[in-house]
Structure 1
């Protein structure tokens, strides 16, 4: 047995095969001059199978030597004494990934069994009868020459495309210019998508581009039949989004299949740099796009993305450092702050409020935590840009800080917009907003207020709290007590048996006490709100006074009880 193969260059899409490979289809090989008189007697459904190499079978144990994508040539010599095994041979060869089987009958095999032909038809494995006057060397020579010529032509075209795309980048072109050029070269619609399927750039027929939208991740929405599956989130080098970003910057992702793939006619290749997959490039057209060109383009796109990330990271750190100095009172006088902030596209000279958003505790740790932090920065950048083009946003350690114009500071709406973009099912974030700062010199105090609102709001309401500083009331004072053990002791001393949650009767009595204090000891209103009979409530009041003291007559005791109940409402102390 002899085996011949050709070097394997970058993968090429063969239309209709669903496989990424390089070579000639069986149908193309049958059109060559050396096989002009050959006959396809079975397996017509497999004419799209790709031939990368050729093999000549003249030994009985051929299965051990068969490789995928081979065209196997034989005279039938090894099988001349066992024609009954030919039917099983087709299934075994198909399992090995054989592209086609070409038999020259007459000398050792008079005919091929019907079982063999039927099985080849059932498996769509092309079965070819060769004419007696054609030599195997002629077939090998022509087929290998055509494969090599095609590879050389495509490689040369790929190099030419790569140089053209790199030239675009060197001349200052960006993602959109590269995408435009690739769409022209392929004659197809092309889109660059981030890890969640959002478009970063697109070019080509809008009707085709509409088919390249991705399934909304983890929303349960019904995806269109031609949607691209979302890629999974993974840790990767982090960066801050640009100050003028209107959509979240591209997120790092990993792809189950590191090579190109096809989804309902879409050709998709991952955008990979430094061992990380940053998104994908997709193409769709009237005919199968050339995956070689798309892969070359994806390399250039990866270069642009990593360049953008490096520049964005440096610029964002510079902006964040300046905003941190402003909020800590270390940035100089108001005139300097206003002038310097203008260079970033910010306006810190107008009445503004400070908003702080911080991730709540959750399962993510290590590198994933930084990825989530970057996504939160991107989400708040997008939300603020929608309502205040001159607002400032920066990521600090463990929090995102925004300075927003007073007339645009609808903290509930901003938080909702940011949560929609952030779109994480496992992690939430809490938000705190300050009072309005009239001058830049007032921003440090506003920042302290927002930080306190986040911390106390989370204690009051749990994860996902959205609280304005003015809503904290007495909780602001309680939050100043750093000794939490002292707060616990105060609650225990003041409420006694009612401080715990294990006894249902104690919890019920505590609820009665809370409503009594909220209604300023209005027995009728308390009975109505708790749905008690008036006499039942009078009995409960008596029981409470036996446990806690004469709070109905002692204003100081009522104050202590109210404070103790407020402390119990504060979580995390």
Structure 2
């Protein structure tokens, strides 16, 4: 938890009766600094005795040199040291020991936005201490009462079975700010936020096109109109559970507000932990049932549809099976523990559930440990791409918030529950083949795999390797020369053996391309004139591309 001083702004402190006549001399941009205590400077080496957020007052006597003249370099160094120590301000009583504060000192104070205040001629230090501490005690008492009242109200919400929306509404009502609870990557879970505050977030580019709050851009307080936006961690046992995003567009948050929000985050962590325990049990039950359906172990068709309906799922409509898998770590990425991997997968699954269920709670979705599976309904027009791409875009957002890349495979449209296991296998195969063909972060439709769809059904990879070696011969070797010739061969096949077009695409002279065609035919056979040879060569190249 960050340090949260709940003190009185220095501008209000110098308005106390005991400080009548006090005038800011420099550093006025820092008059909002909170004051939590008052200290009197009695020794020259005061820096070792000051604390953060104190107001330091003095007659100036400790700043005199041996000739009883003001030591300007020492005073300048003192101002810099006090600012570095986090002191709220420096107040000096002029006249008896120091006639005026030198311009050089005031310039430094202005540069640092560190307030330097001239005390009135008749100010008594004991009266200053008495009035200041009375005001501080009264203020802190009110703040603590407000915070305790809010904490008690939030605790009752949790004990009475409330939810995050109710917590957000109560915090918003008490503090007069907009409140959002989001996932760790910024997906909204609950909130109480006005239309103007939401518009302010969007205008400041803190929300992406998918509606995700860009929490990665909100590190510490960020300016927003006349106030600020900030994000607080909601955590328990060292694990981050969510983010508490607060929007105070009318005025910056006070220190006491931040302290109250930290208390609210603690209560929210309690509620989320309880909800996660329930969701984990329900999710495992639902996931196990969906896994049984997709592996053809759930029982009769009637039992499957009736039990799915009991869970709120509609399986009696055209759907596509979508399988999403987190991509493996990159070679330079540091290894993570099994606990961290599980946490990453849990967040990934939670993101999918939130996006899918926000569209309709009748959509079946489950976490299968290493993958997430969703049965996305397809409309009467059968536009699979619109359904799948829209969902994938919502999950991916703009790749902010620390989310990891993933690959997805989409099956053909399924119109009968009995065909779901086969479609599930196709979607998984699409993920595997797509990742080999396109790399990480790929989206692959099983229907568009073409001949690769047939090749992916061959269970013995040795048979495929033997076919490649038989058809391509030396051209299948893992050498730079073989790869270069394979590239030329693929271009020739792509342009239907148009030698001139192939030469243009590869930036070769026409005669050079004719020479290469002759060399390739010497290695492979008459692929330019024999359709069967050409088909075998094309298939062999596809197998190689799948294995790269």
Q: TM-score range by the shorter chain?
A: 0.7 to 0.9
Q: Equivalent residue for 2:546?
A: 570
Asked if 1:92 corresponds to 2:73, the answer is no
Q: CA deviation at 1:427?
A: 5.5
Match of 1:62 among 40, 46, 50: 46
Q: Is the 8 A contact 1:42 1:126 kept in 2?
A: yes
Asked if 1:161 corresponds to 2:150, the answer is yes
Q: Equivalent residue for 2:392?
A: 419
Note closer, same or farther for the CA distance 1:285–1:439 as it changes in structure 2 (3 Å cut). closer
Match of 2:223 among 263, 273, 276: 263
Match of 2:245 among 260, 273, 281: 281
Q: Is the 8 A contact 1:117 1:127 kept in 2?
A: no
Q: Is the 8 A contact 1:41 1:117 kept in 2?
A: no
Q: Is the 8 A contact 2:219 2:230 kept in 1?
A: no
Moved more, 353-362 or 152-161: 353-362
1:112-151 correspondence to structure 2 within 5 Å: 112-115=100-103, 118-119=106-107, 122=110, 124-132=114-122, 135-151=124-140
Q: CA deviation at 1:326?
A: 0.9
Q: Is the 8 A contact 2:60 2:98 kept in 1?
A: no
Q: CA deviation at 1:160?
A: 1.3
Q: Equivalent residue for 2:432?
A: 455
Q: CA deviation at 1:448?
A: 1.9
User: Helix, strand or coil for the counterpart of 1:570?
Assistant: helix
Note closer, same or farther for the CA distance 1:210–1:466 as it changes in structure 2 (3 Å cut). closer
Asked if 1:502 corresponds to 2:480, the answer is yes
User: Helix, strand or coil for the counterpart of 1:177?
Assistant: helix
Q: CA deviation at 1:72?
A: 2.5
Q: Is the 8 A contact 2:177 2:246 kept in 1?
A: no
Note closer, same or farther for the CA distance 1:144–1:513 as it changes in structure 2 (3 Å cut). closer
Q: CA deviation at 1:103?
A: 3.8
- CA deviations over 1:315-362 (Å, ceiling 9, x no partner): 222211110011112211111111110122212234544232333344
- Structure 1 distance, partners of 2:23, 2:42, is 21
User: How many aligned residue pairs are there?
Assistant: 515
Q: Is the 8 A contact 1:352 1:438 kept in 2?
A: yes
User: Helix, strand or coil for the counterpart of 2:547?
Assistant: coil
Which stretches in structure 2 are left out of the alignment for 5+ residues?
Answer: none
Q: TM (normalized to structure 2)? A: 0.79
- CA deviations over 1:267-297 (Å, ceiling 9, x no partner): 5351322134421231415455533433332
- Structure 2 distance, partners of 1:68, 1:385, is 49
Q: Is the 8 A contact 1:527 1:534 kept in 2?
A: yes
Note closer, same or farther for the CA distance 1:54–1:414 as it changes in structure 2 (3 Å cut). same
- Structure 2 distance, partners of 1:96, 1:490, is 79
User: Helix, strand or coil for the counterpart of 2:304?
Assistant: helix
Which stretches in structure 1 are left out of the alignment for 5+ residues?
Answer: 1-8, 12-19, 222-226, 233-254, 520-524
Q: Equivalent residue for 1:478?
A: 455
Q: Equivalent residue for 1:329?
A: 296
Q: CA deviation at 1:557?
A: 5.2
Note closer, same or farther for the CA distance 1:430–1:27 as it changes in structure 2 (3 Å cut). closer
Match of 1:111 among 99, 112, 129: 99
Match of 2:14 among 17, 27, 30: 30
Q: CA deviation at 1:565?
A: 2.8
Note closer, same or farther for the CA distance 1:51–1:381 as it changes in structure 2 (3 Å cut). closer
Match of 1:442 among 407, 419, 425: 419
Q: CA deviation at 1:92?
A: 1.5
Q: Is the 8 A contact 2:376 2:388 kept in 1?
A: no
Q: Equivalent residue for 1:272?
A: 234
Q: Is the 8 A contact 1:183 1:189 kept in 2?
A: yes
Q: Is the 8 A contact 1:356 1:402 kept in 2?
A: yes
Q: Is the 8 A contact 2:37 2:55 kept in 1?
A: yes
User: Helix, strand or coil for the counterpart of 2:171?
Assistant: helix
- CA deviations over 1:429-450 (Å, ceiling 9, x no partner): 4333334444333322222222
- Structure 2 distance, partners of 1:534, 1:318, is 65
User: Helix, strand or coil for the counterpart of 2:70?
Assistant: helix
Note closer, same or farther for the CA distance 1:389–1:527 as it changes in structure 2 (3 Å cut). farther
User: Helix, strand or coil for the counterpart of 2:316?
Assistant: coil
Q: Is the 8 A contact 2:499 2:513 kept in 1?
A: yes
Asked if 1:303 corresponds to 2:303, the answer is no
Q: TM (normalized to structure 1)? A: 0.76
Q: Is the 8 A contact 1:196 1:217 kept in 2?
A: no
Q: Equivalent residue for 2:37?
A: 53
- CA deviations over 1:158-202 (Å, ceiling 9, x no partner): 111211222223333322222222222223333444444454434
